[in-house]
């Protein structure tokens, strides 16, 4: 779709098609093993096995890719999903029900292709997709702030709703965010509304 295509220098950012699936899977798996260090975990990463079925064949889900030539160098996925409790607080599940929440997943760019605005462009494209898809009321994501560059990037485009960090470097240091759904053709540089943090009992 032309509305989901953007050229950035030598790169193209677009909604993924069948020709992008294997390259996208490679980016994701390499991220699990090389960046995160724990490899493929079936309980967390089940969607990666069937990217076509999960993201390309559902009208409410989508996969976006950044490419240079025929090579996929970045990914961003969106699907209807609530945070899982456990490990995340029950209050977040209540705030972000699966049927009305678009959750962002697999926002990855290969290290050698970073600093070109690719992640921001893919997230903005995903945001526009959510705005055009009936039934969504919120865009939610969480990130492990131990990952290099993750926290400053998400703070530049999203609003924190819960900080679950406990300063234990051996455990996930998770912060939860929400991105507003644009009413029109807004972009990620638009002013973000003030969101109330999720209170924990």
Give the integer Cα–Cα distance in Å for 116 and 25.
21
State residue 148's pLDDT score.
87
pLDDT in tens, 77-105: 999 999 999 989 999 999 999 999 999 99
Domain boundaries, the chain: 2-179
- Which CATH code, of 3.40.1160.10, 3.40.630.30, 3.40.50.2300, 2.60.120.620, is assigned to 2-179? 3.40.630.30
CA 67 to chain centre: 17
Indicate yes or no: pTM above 0.75.
yes
Torsion angle of C-alpha atoms 161, 167, 173, 176, degrees rounded to 10 = 0
Backbone angles phi, psi at 35, to 5 degrees: -95, -45
User: Which residues of the chain carry a pLDDT beneath 50?
Assistant: 185-186, 188-194, 200-201
């Amino acid at each position: 779709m032309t509305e989901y295509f953007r050229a950035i220098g030598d790169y193209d950012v677009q909604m993924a098609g069948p020709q992008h699936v294997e390259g996208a899977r490679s980016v994701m798996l390499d991220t699990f093993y090389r960046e995160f260090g724990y490899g493929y975990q079936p309980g967390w990463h089940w969607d990666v096995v069937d990217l076509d079925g999960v993201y390309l064949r559902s009208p409410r889900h989508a996969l976006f890719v950044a490419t240079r030539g025929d090579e996929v160098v970045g990914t961003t996925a969106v699907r209807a999903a609530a945070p899982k409790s456990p490990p995340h607080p029950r209050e977040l599940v209540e705030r972000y029900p699966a049927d009305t929440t678009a959750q962002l997943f697999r926002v990855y760019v290969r290290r050698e292709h970073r600093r070109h605005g690719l992640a921001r462009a893919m997230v903005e494209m995903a945001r526009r997709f959510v705005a055009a898809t009936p039934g969504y009321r919120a865009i939610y994501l969480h990130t492990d702030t131990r990952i290099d560059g993750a926290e400053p990037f998400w703070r530049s485009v999203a609003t924190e709703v819960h900080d679950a960090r406990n300063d234990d470097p051996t455990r996930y240091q998770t912060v939860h965010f929400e991105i507003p759904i644009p009413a029109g053709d807004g972009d990620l540089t638009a002013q973000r509304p003030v969101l109330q943090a999720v209170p924990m009992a």
